[in-house]
Structure 1
Amino acid sequence: MQQQLQTLTADLQRELQEIGNRTAQMESKMEKYVEAHNSLADKLQEFDDILESHRLKLADMEDRAKRNNLRFRGIPETVPNAELQHYLSKMFQSLVPELHPDQLIIDRAHRLCRPKHLPQTAVRDVIARIHFFHAKDRILRASRSSGMPPEYSSLKIFADISADTLHFRKSMVPITSILQEDTMIYRWGFPAKLLISHQDAIHSITTLKQGAQKLGDWGLTQPAPESTKSRTVPRRLPEWTVK
């Protein structure tokens, strides 16, 4: 009986040793897999940062090319393309009468293609390039501060910006909404950034996460966590090393 127990014990010890060896080999392989995953995650984040940098540069180049442009919404389709500049010139003289007509030169104006999701009866937007930037800026400011003249009340004027910059501004709504509630002064900068005035200093915000951190530093309400989630791939730790 004792001999049998010794034999059984020896067999169990041998099997346990073999299991331990196989487990050690598996942990070693898994550790290599974790290292490879983390390396790929770091490289993916690096490429994502590079891609984002190039995207912002392209958006900035597009915005610079459109710097003197204005987008008009609501100009009747009955106004032919050949008369768009004349129509806009009359509207400018009514909106900013303090500017001399020589300062309200329009280089070109044209209608955009109608988006597919809009009905055929929808009025197409008009893009116009204003020769002088200060005149373009004055027109845009006047339309927002004083409102449109009565005869042009159905028209709206927007800055002509790239799709990426427009997407960035929409993504920053959780931040700008809080700034508006606290009556804090902010404005948009280029390339895509949010410039916030706080305690006699201008703070540049380029990401939601950065904006949320600033709001927290200033003791303001922070946006919901869902709106500031990161898209980065998380790094991993070997589970058998976590206690």
Structure 2
Amino acid sequence: MRLLSFYSDSYTSLEKGFLVQDLHSSSETEHLLKCLLLEHEQYYLCTYDKDSDGCIWQSLNYFRGKGSEIRRTRILPVKGVPLYPYILNSSNSAVFYTFAGACSVLRECKEIIPEVKGILDLAGQCTIKAPKGDFPVIVIEGLDATGKSTLCHALKDRLNAFLLKSPPSCLSQWRKTFDEEPTLIKRAFYALGNYIAACEIATLSCKAPVIIDRVKFLSSVNSMSFSKSSHQDISLKKELQTLLSTIQDLSTKIDKLDLNLENFKEKSSQQMETIHLDLRQQKEQINGIETSLNDMDSRIQVNEHNLESLLKQNSLLSAKIDDLENRSRRNNIRIFGLPENVEDNNMEKFLTSWLPEILQLPEALSYGIERAHRSLSSSKINKADTTRSVIVRFLSSYDKEIVLKTAWSKSPIKFKDNVIQFDNDYSSSVIARRKLFLPLLKELKKETQIKTHLVFPAKLKIFLQGGPKIFDKLEKAIAYIKSNKILDDMDWASTNLKRLVENGSWKSLDHKKKLKKK
């Protein structure tokens, strides 16, 4: 039995695989092949047999689980076409289709051929799966002394390319040694040289075009085969004509490549001009934007200056309005704690009789009340739980001062189990500023016998042994009290005073308590 491997030029052709020739025409050969191929999911099996008339038949079978015959065709024997000596065929050539296959043959010769070790070391440094570059690879083939090298050097200078030879220069020192070895070893040497050259080509093609001066599988053997070949009917003249035609085609392609490069340069130049024009336009737009931003910055600075002036003017006007409002309230007093509905819808009449009675005022006073009413309350406050204050306006500031001083002198005043308090009527901004001092006043009144008073508009006056002290800010008053140890026993960290100084307002604690109750 003989086993031959062969490949076809077409990838989809059936003429590749293994050819098994049974010299004894045994019927078990096909059965054994099917058993060997059971491990494969699908395969094709082509058998040849001769009938009683001497005709040869080809049966093509496809196996995928179960086998099925695709077709059966009669084969007519013909005389084989003579092959050119350089062409490899399945009957007279050992072709290495893998890098490992060529290495394995040389590896077996390591003990008898010392040079093999250096070749295998070079092969181990190759990257077989190196990525291919984008530049073209041009191979120049032909007979010796036909101008290949001259053409290769001309192409190299014209395309600014790399020039390589096969086998590569790293193996050329061993060519003479392997040319004297058997055919299988020779072909393994040259095949390995082609694989090493292919790695170098893949690397260089990433940088520039690559020109290859001949791909030699076995130059010396081919030359010898050509000289000894029995196929002398192939004319050298035809070969030279074919070679010249190939060179002319290559020259034409190079001219086309030059033309394409010129067109590419022209298009690139036009595109660059367009890009430069766009950049100039964008630069002009950016300059315009920068000018606009500078103008806006100038306008913003002017507006900020105007705004600052307006804010100062607004502050002065607000202070003046607040002063005018407080001046308009000079004849007013506020009464706190007066129960609701005691006035019977006539507050002026009620107060005219109630004030002299509750304050025991002299009868000689006129007590002219211009107007009196309850203060407005927020819609969010439950009126049933809240007693609104009463605002009273007198015709004379003298009467107002008499009533207010008398009420302060008789404090505390009670009416129907309610504590009645009297105070001046101030604007809302003054009331807010004066409220900041109330917690400290309560602490001083609770912990000491020191006399205090709130001076208009919102200043704390403390009467001490060394003389009165006036403070316009709460933190200054607290710092003075702490530094002079006026309230030594007070835990400042646990009182509301510390939080008041930090937050600038007493609303936080009172507001939280109201929210919890709701």
What number of residue pairs does the alignment pair up? 184
Q: Which runs of 5+ in 1 are unaligned?
A: 1-45, 232-243
Task: Provide, for residues 142-192 of structure 1, a one-character-per-residue CA deviation record: whole Å limited to 9, x for no partner.
Answer: 445534465x65473432222222222322234323422121111111121
Match of 1:17 in 2: none
Query: Which SS does the other structure have where 1:229 is aligned?
Result: helix
Question: Is the CA contact (8 Å cut-off) linking 1:60 and 1:192 kept in structure 2?
Answer: no
Match of 1:43 in 2: none
The structural deviation recorded for 1:212 is: 1.6
The structural deviation recorded for 1:108 is: 1.5
Does 2:341 align with 1:77? yes
The structural deviation recorded for 1:87 is: 0.7
The amino acid across from 1:131 in the alignment is L
The structural deviation recorded for 1:106 is: 0.7
The structural deviation recorded for 1:56 is: 6.0
Q: 1:88 to 1:67 in 2, by over 3 A?
A: same
Match of 1:91 in 2: 354
Structure with higher RCO (Cα < 8 A, 6+ apart): 1
Q: Which runs of 5+ in 2 are unaligned?
A: 1-307, 505-518
Match of 2:400 in 1: 136
Question: Is the CA contact (8 Å cut-off) linking 1:209 and 1:228 kept in structure 2?
Answer: yes
Query: Which SS does the other structure have where 2:449 is aligned?
Result: coil
Match of 2:459 in 1: 193
Match of 1:113 in 2: 376
Q: Structure 2: how far apart are the matches of 1:78 and 1:174?
A: 31
TM-score (norm 1): 0.59
Match of 2:429 in 1: 164
Query: Which SS does the other structure have where 2:435 is aligned?
Result: helix
Match of 2:499 in 1: 226
Question: Is the CA contact (8 Å cut-off) linking 2:369 and 2:395 kept in structure 1?
Answer: yes
The amino acid across from 1:93 in the alignment is P
Larger Cα-atom Rg: 2
Question: Is the CA contact (8 Å cut-off) linking 1:95 and 1:142 kept in structure 2?
Answer: no
Q: Structure 2: how far apart are the matches of 1:72 and 1:211?
A: 28
Does 2:340 align with 1:67? no
Q: Structure 1: how far apart are the matches of 2:343 and 2:391?
A: 14
Q: 1:54 to 1:133 in 2, by over 3 A?
A: same
RMSD: 3.7
Q: Identity of paired residues, percent?
A: 21
Q: Structure 1: how far apart are the matches of 2:372 and 2:317?
A: 30
Q: Structure 2: how far apart are the matches of 1:90 and 1:67?
A: 22
Query: Which SS does the other structure have where 1:167 is aligned?
Result: helix
Q: 1:227 to 1:96 in 2, by over 3 A?
A: closer
The structural deviation recorded for 1:197 is: 1.0
Q: 1:87 to 1:229 in 2, by over 3 A?
A: same
The structure with more helix, counted as a fraction of residues = 1
Q: 1:185 to 1:55 in 2, by over 3 A?
A: farther
Question: Is the CA contact (8 Å cut-off) linking 1:85 and 1:108 kept in structure 2?
Answer: yes
The structural deviation recorded for 1:66 is: 1.5
Q: Structure 2: how far apart are the matches of 1:192 and 1:57?
A: 16
The amino acid across from 1:226 in the alignment is R
